[in-house]
Amino acid sequence: MKKVTRFFLMTAIALGLVACNKDEAPKSGNNGDGDVWASFTIALPANSGLRAEAGNVDDAKAKDTYVGTKDEQKVNNVRIVLYDDGGIAAYSFDYAISTDGQADFSGDGLANNSPKSKSKFVTKAEKVVKKDYKALVLLNANAAILSATSRGNNLVEFEKVVETTPEDLMKSGVFMSNAKGLVKVDGNSNLKENANDAESSPVNVKVDRAVAKVFLGAKNLDVKHGAQFKDIKWTLDVTNKKTYWMRRFAKVHTALDTFVPETADDNIERYSRYAMDPNFTDHPAHPNSDGDFNYLTGTLDDANDKLKETGFEDQKGIYVLENTMDAAAQYNSVTTRVVLRGLYIPKDFEEQDVKANGWYSYKGFKMKKATFDGFLQKVKDQNNGNDIDGTPVGFAADVKKILDEDPNFSFTDKSFVKYNLKFYKNGICYYYNIYIRHFSDEQSSKEMGYGRYGIVRNNLYKLSLGTISQPGEPEIEKPDPNVPDDPTERWVSFEVEVLPWLVREQTINL
């Protein structure tokens, strides 16, 4: 009689950032076929062990890790997919494992020796055919991801470009997948003859959240020249519409201004990693900016639900999709930026008057409404565009251009910028040339150096507003595709920290 040897694959999953609830998912139709057993240990994003976890975003510094909120730690569903050498999903195992983000993992899918933890777990062993595989771990996967990774599907279905939103990737808890690509499962060393051996020696897989998170603080803001900047709110602009469900490798930082291709087994720390997104390009002339990015223009009112208050409390962060580019392509039109909105009150202007009537600026010369109205009447009375005593040089000519184009032009209905004249309705101004840094100057020091700008998943970008030296603009303008991210002039200063949630910091001076 032919002897049949059975092996077990055990999956241990260590989860450090997201937890799951107690909703149980049924096993997929794998039918327990095979002759060996496999098991995995899965770890959520967590610290490196060299530094303690930050207790909150406010206290977190660059390279710290922050565990995040309860909702950012919960796990509602777990799937592990084994792809064969042909890229076909030979097995797609769904496990009844969950946590609400506070309690330890629970469920029938846990191995008996799984640790009591809300950041790590080991799965029960599953029987598979003895051969080499590549493992994919999915936590909180939505319906589209589950469909793409069903048994029998090709890996290309999972690796395709997807158009989505952060909200869609967080409906069932924050979606997470492999942090370092597909994990090799060796048929000889990782697959075991029985379930107990598999569960005692699981394959290790670490996962990343599929989104990043940005915070803006302003508690140490210094407004120059006697002005005031109040009622500050902010949001993100030039956000990506497209992503990959799993991070794709790019280059990693190894020394100052030195970057090499990332590999699955390079053991490079998270703080040194970058990523390649679906519209990653090596040149600034982006072929489809409007199709790939969300852009803000004009003004934002208080009812805009995307506006957030400044501060580092958990609820004041904004989730965003990954957005990266090669060094030569770090241009304004493809780089995620912060848009800052607030009430700007010039020196010696009254807040009540500014809120009611706004104020005007002509080539930097600031005017209250009463002053502007007087100047405007003189221009209309003279009607030749020549300079008028007491008004800024060129003012009469530029205002006449506006009136020649539209005799009924309203100088008060809404904010505008025309012929060097700016009107800040209700005193509201915007700062929008605040492009988010990824690698710090200690990593990438040269202007337009690799990875200086961009957003990478599972990073927490902590921006601190430092100084404001002059007013911003009355309206948001769409970014210029011909302007590089490293500018020659800045009006706002920020300090940015990127936290796993890895923290990164950036100070911004405007």
Whether residues 178 and 277 fall in one domain: no
Radius of gyration, alpha carbons of the chain:
28
H/E element holding 464? strand 459-468
Q: What is the mean pLDDT of residues 317-324?
A: 98
> Does one domain contain both 348 and 411?
yes
Cα–Cα distances in Å, from 400 out to 148, 379, 394? 62, 7, 10
Q: Is the pLDDT of residue 488 over 70?
A: no
3-state helix, strand, coil in the chain (%, to 5): 15, 35, 50
Residues 119 and 250 in one domain: no
For all residues of the chain together, what is the average pLDDT? Answer: 89
Give me the amino acid identity at 59: D
Distance CA 68, CA 54 (A): 9
**pLDDT score for 271:** 94
Range of the domain at 322: 210-509
- Give backbone dihedrals phi and psi of 144, rounded to 5 degrees, phi first: -65, -40
Structural domain count of the chain: 2
Per-residue pLDDT band at 173 (split at 50, 70, 90) = very high
Q: How confident is the model at residue 437 (pLDDT cuts 50, 70, 90)?
A: very high
Percent of the chain with pLDDT over 90: 78
Cβ–Cβ contacts within 10 Å for residue 156, how many? Answer: 9
Domain contains 16: no
Q: Stretch 105-130: mean pLDDT, rounded?
A: 93
The reply to whether 331 and 437 lie within a common domain is yes
> How many angstroms separate the CA atoms of 318 and 296, rounded?
16
Regarding whether 220 and 197 lie in a shared domain, the answer is no
Please tell me what DSSP assigns to residue 75: B
**Cβ atoms 304, 439 nearer than 8 A:** no
Please tell me whether residues 184 and 257 are part of one structural domain: no
Q: Kindly state the average pLDDT of the residues 372-401.
A: 96
Coil, helix or strand at residue 323: strand
C-alpha 257 chain-centroid distance? 23
Among the listed residues 8, 16, 138, the one whose alpha carbon sits nearest the alpha carbon of residue 76: 138
Specify which residues 362 forms β-bridges with: 365, 421
